[in-house]
Amino acid sequence: MKKSEIISHLAPEAMLADGLDDAIMGLADVFTAEGARSVVAYDKQKVIEILIKRDNMGDEEAEEFYQYNIAGAYVGEGTPVFIDYGWALGLEGPSRYDC
């Protein structure tokens, strides 16, 4: 079973980003004044690696596409979150993606 299928069963309200299953880290709990909900958590570096490989983008093009079209897209309360832990691994920028 694919990660997206499992998440659809666990958190049907969570929105999924098309074609980015390999970057799914899991579910994150989000708390607002209206209550708690689960959203999908994606690995930002893995998303950019997917864009580079799958869509034949350069590092900077993939980073810009990610910022504008993926991270910058609000699609409602189930909008995914993107985890950037690259700073903890010593990654400095798009030229350091390992793909």
SS (H, E, C) 35-79: EEEEEEEEEHHHHHHHHHHHCCCCHHHHHHHHHHHHHCCCCCCCC
Domain hosting 72: range is 3-96
**What span, in angstroms and rounded, lies between the C-alpha atoms of 87 and 99?**
18
In the chain, the number of structural domains is: 1
Each residue's pLDDT, cut to its tens digit, for the chain (99 residues) gives: 899 999 999 999 999 999 999 999 999 999 988 889 999 999 999 999 999 999 999 999 999 999 999 999 998 889 999 998 766 666 655 455 555
Q: In what order do the strands lie in the sheet with 24-32?
A: 24-32, 35-43, 81-83
